[in-house]
Amino acid sequence: MTDDVLIHTHAGVGHMSLNRPKAIHALTLDMCHAMSAALTGWAGDKAVKAVILDHSEGRGFCAGGDINLLRHSALNDGGVSGRRFFHDEYQLNHQMFTYAKPIVAFMDGITMGGGVGIAMPAKFRIATENTRFAMPETGIGLFPDVGGGWHLARLGGRFGQFLALTGARLDGAECVWAGIATHYLPSDKLAEAKARIIEKPARIAGILSELSVSPPEARIESNAERIAKHFASDRYEDILASLEADDSDWAAKELATLNTKSPQTCKVALRELAEASTYTDFAEEMRSEYRIASRVLVRPDFAEGVRAVIVDKTGDPQWNPATPEGVSEELLDQIFAPLPADEEWKPL
């Protein structure tokens, strides 16, 4: 167990509270193991009717995964420890997705990357005025993982492809509009919501409906038609060409954003979402994502992206390949290829 997740049982409710505030509750391997063990225990406990997932303090729900561990692994152990982190984190994602008891995730504050992976499987997903949701992985040479391919592929209007490529940040109102969040509560109502859920876990839906308020207007909605038009293709070059042909300020801004991203992982993301849309079993998605992660982790763009964006903060990643045209179908085939049978991802 670890102090980085506070795990309690209150009457008929299990409670997992992320407790790593200096890292905005970014997930470590120990945190994933602690959460998984708690869920396993509660699954067999008839007294536990539901699970609350939140964070203890600070400005975010969960900022992602342990990027420093992953970069160290890429540079020093050939990806061995990084693959173990991905493997077990994805087991937690799958365990939550298939969990028989309702999970209520309070996405109050920053909810990105690994935080998305533990929030989206929850039956109830609460956004607030503090919510900042994003899958920003293409900016550091990664891809939308932790089940992101499955979740993003199922948003309408090519919105998932837009989020995967640009890493756009959504506020709480936009999360509700997109279907990412199920409810919108003012942050000052969260304590009451949790107390009432603990008191009557069979009434979660009713309690959240009673405490919900109408969110502000979703600003992103005004761009929905543009997004559907310009991000319509699964071919990255087509998306760039569509934006280039539009002389609006919006198109110029999105094109400038895409030009900062890893061409390799943008193409990976588009193929990932296209394939994810055909899956009928979440385990298929996690198996595919683990194959991708195992390869992308040790390719040049990841360590370089983390250096430029997070470590040195120079914002000048030198991507390899440097252009979308340089990312061949053969390279993508290698990244998506099955692993040896004894290395494939398996659910718990």
Per-10-residue mean pLDDT for the chain, 348 residues long? 93 96 96 98 98 93 94 96 98 98 98 98 98 98 97 98 98 98 98 98 98 98 98 98 98 98 98 98 98 97 95 96 98 98 97
Active site residue 78: no
Q: What are the φ and ψ backbone dihedral angles of 29, each rounded to 5 degrees?
A: -60, -40
Q: Which of 14, 114, 117, 141 is catalytic?
A: 114
**In the prediction, which pLDDT does 277 show?**
98
Choose the catalytic residue: 12, 14, 60, 65: 65
Please tell me the distance from the alpha carbon of residue 90 to that of residue 259, in angstroms, as a whole number: 29
Q: What is the pLDDT of residue 203?
A: 98
Characterise 273 by phi-psi region: left (phi > 0), alpha (psi -120 to 50), beta (else). alpha
Question: Known catalytic residue: 109?
Answer: no
Q: Is 313 exposed, middle or buried (0-12, 13-18, 19+ CB in 10 A)?
A: exposed
User: Is 114 one of the annotated active-site residues of the chain?
Assistant: yes
Res 42: pLDDT: 98
237 is catalytic: no
CATH number, domain of 82, equals 3.90.226.10
Q: Is 289 a domain residue?
A: yes
Q: Does any domain span residue 169?
A: yes
Whether residue 12 is contained in a domain is answered as yes
Point out the catalytic residue in the list 4, 108, 137, 301. 137
| pLDDT at res. 312 | 95
User: What is the total count of domains within the chain?
Assistant: 1
The answer to the question of residue 348 being in a domain is no
Q: What domain range includes position 281?
A: 5-343
Among 54, 66, 89, 145, which one carries the catalytic annotation?
Answer: 145
Residue 132 lies in a domain: yes
